[in-house]
A and B are shown apart, each in its own frame.
Chain A
Amino acid sequence: MTNLLTNENPSGNGRTDPPLLEVRDLSVTFPQRGGPSVQAVRGISYQVHKGEFLGIVGESGSGKSVSSLALMGLLPSSATVTGSILFGGRSLLELNDRQLSGIRGQEISMIFQDPLSALTPVYTVGDQIAEALLLHDAALSKRAAAARAVELLKIVGIPAPERRARAFPHEFSGGMRQRAMIAMSIANDPLLIIADEPTTALDVTIQAQILEVLEKAKSLTGAAVVLITHDLGVVAGHADRIAVMYAGKLVENGTTHEVFADPHMPYTIGLLRSVPNMQTAGTQRLVPLEGRPPSLTVLPRGCPFAARCPIAVSACLDTEPVLLDHAPAAPGVPVAGLGEAAHVAACHRSAEIASGTLTRPDVFPRPEPLAVEHREKNADTEPVLKVTGLVRHFPLTKGGVFSRQIGTVRAVDGVSFSIQPGQTLGLVGESGCGKSTTILEILEMRKPQAGQILIDGQDVATLGRADLLRLRKDVQIVFQDPMAALDPRLPIGDIIAEPLTVHGVKPADRRARVAELLDLVGLDPAMADRYPHEFSGGQRQRVGIARALATNPRLVVLDEPVSALDVSIQAGVINLLEDLKEQLNLSYLFVAHDLAIVRQIADTVAVMYLGRIVEYGPVAEVFAHPRHPYTQALISAAPIPDPEIERNRKRVLLEGDLPSPTEQIDGCNFRSRCPLYTLLPPQKRSLCESFDPLLALHDTVQTACHHSEQNTLLTAAV
């Protein structure tokens, strides 16, 4: 990998060998009964050289997955594929399925997004890897294949591979399944690995591990990698070249450095500017990229991005731009060799952008920060929400009729925090750490198993039914998936008015309030009688926010409010949330796994691990000087959309997966994965083994670690 990087001439002109994969003018259309066909991919051309790492970036529906399925010949038979795909000199589109099968898994292998559905549940993982080997090598004995499978599992970093090879996919965690998929994909030393969103379903810490394994697999086999993703941070650190797709077309293609440092296409510029960067988050507003991609069935004339493009001119509405090299040296030269290592972009105004007459802030100006009125932030004002020692255990039972308890899931195990009016608390952690259970316990408003929940200073355990109903006005929630959170059978006006009906607001007042709320979240009040399916993801989330604000709450619980949205939409929603907080003096409890977004919006951050808070303090301090080794690992695992920073970062990688919350770990429960623990001398380790660390105050931050003063060891070690 490093070899390749250093050898590579930045402009890439040094290549003379024929490309490994050459896609020319590939188009994929899906005919539809009684309607115009869906043009999923419209004439894309790119090349992948031996050992190259190409990142294909695009929003959902941009055609990035369809184009790679076309490579593998895995599209449904109804799809019409035109153009040509040359792989090692052979034209893949002319091969029949039998010939393709010889290439699939042997020379081209694929890693899918969801490893659970990509593995067969009824065979052991070892058998499935062995099968991949035996299929393409008839001379291999079964025993040798099994041994090789174990070896492959070891390469991808699965502990105890001999035992794990005999396990079934459901016994693996998500990260381990993806490792097994990678093991299977490199089993036959392929020339090309296609990875379709391989880390999207995984936590950041696991994502970092998997990307590391992918790099390792690449360097071991020397294969070229095509990584398809929506996450610019993921490609920034790994890809040599980046291809950006929009509405079925390639709109920009260049080396990672070129695309990040000097993008020529407004869409790329918008994407890059809209992604929150963990290092700069919180200091400036995000740049929103409004609108949504066009429908692939009825594409507008001209450039498909024109409707969202702030610098569109009349030519953009007329003709669709083609990919051209806009480098100042050779302006507007048509690319003869199909972008052989050139930096190409499809935009009528790319030349202006490339020459510097149109700067990136000209294209997508950063919105003015809100005039922040400095409110009196008294430390002694009553917190909106105060949680003390909250516990939620679930009994684990076995047996049907006479069930007996065989264990306890410690979902939430003594969590304390408080939120002041007008403040935002970010709750972060991997999935399974108890974030969701914590907020559900708060919203259920029943007596907790142990501990206390105070809302507006009132203990929910002591309140009667009527008081609780009144209290519910003050606490509202916005869910992660805006489609699931809105009843598909109700028009959005009724959805937004629902909290008002509970509190007996008259119909006329409800309608007025709905119009007011729609206006507040940036939607047209005339849309109140439309149904949720008529809206885009970002608009639906705005409806969800409007519903949460209907009763004028004091606290809004935001459960991963942007993680189900496309990158370009996220910035707009985050900005809206920030504006609303200032306008209405709201408090947020913001649950997220994306650290950059938490840094952007939160004032205080609480890091959760296995049902406990391990670090709790002001957001700037925690991110600048993480004291707990888990926080350090989380922050270093989060990708940063900047190739320079990303490649020179020192990473604190966590070993393994989150342990099951049923396990009883003596002493510090992070011990089993702690990178600091392994560096400590034995006498200091005994403290971790025997005593459970409590949150202790260091300056302004509370940290639950015995050795937080030693954490420089970690940065020194990597």
Chain B
Amino acid sequence: MTSQPSVELAPQQITLEGISPRILAGLRIVGAAALVIGCALGVAWPDGIPLFFRAYLTSFCYVLGMVLGSLLLVLLLHVSRAGWGVVVRRLAEVLAGHVPLMVILFLPIVLPLLWGSSSLYEWADRHAVEHDELLRHKAPYLNPVFFTIRAAGYFLVWWLVARFFLETSAEQDSTGDPRLTNRMERASGPAILLLGLTVTFASFDWLMSLDARWTSTIYGVYYYSGAFVGAVALWILLAMGLQASGRLKEVITVEHYHDLGKLLFAAVVFWAYIAFSQYLLIWYANIPEETTWYRDRQTGAWLYVSLALVVGHLVLPFFGLLSREAKRNKAILGFWAAWLLVFHWIDVSWLAMPGLKREGSPWGPIDLCLTVSLVCFYLASVLRRAVERPLVPLRDPRLAESLAFENF
């Protein structure tokens, strides 16, 4: 082990204090304005209501993926007792702790459902269920009440997990008690288990049941692996953004970016592995009740979106991030992180939108407005939380190791 380097860091380096409140307010105003425009477009557009809900679901699942992906990052750092990632763990914590916001953002999905609307989910339409044997078979699971109860359960689990890890980490900032690290390590295993199960079923409920007749057991892994790509990319961009604003200058080094780049690369490859597994098995078995899902994604404009995903979510970032130099170059790494954030959005949209019959372009101004809106709300929430505490877990027992970390 290397000798203990100084853990004394200048306060302006490691806090967000001094950030203009106007940024926060601006984000909220833009978010609210975009939401209003999106709603207006949804009402005004011909057949705009189902479109609005789908687009809203896309944006919601996109932002939710950031929250849950970051939460998984925090847990993985704990469960593997990672030394390298301590300096960036707080950033992941900052990105993760927004379950209450997600609950509020979930209301536009669940309230109409309880109201009796079936604009989003076909299985909520009593008439359709009565006349469809398959939907009737699934009705004990797919019905508005049980759907809501399950969603409440998922949010409760996420909220408890996020709260525990964020609060414990914050507590360590003040007490410096190394036993808190032990406590988080012990909790991280069961937490990952809970998270895996809840995210799987949440993705089944919220996204997969859009095609209520279709099933794929790998779907949860697919959604979560994509969300992980998005979360890592956002993590990298947040670190870069903070450094660009003059913070964390001496804390996060090229060595940490190298590791983050490796993680991003691995996440992309893993996503591709899961995506290909699902595609290959369904393509090969060629069972009509399964292939319909891909047929929706291989007809019209969605064919080009599917191909774009192969190229933009795998081939280009794969070669772009392959070399050691690319991962150690902030400009290149930042470019690919931003690129993948965009393509992760396309991926979520590719999951949610295609069942909807729409002519021409797969996306329109509604999608844009709602995504901008939800992302702005999320970023505002992130900044508000980031102001509350240091950007580095100052008294983590492995901070010194992390600061001195070097790849070889």
Same assembly? no
Residues of A bordering B, CB below 8 Å:
none
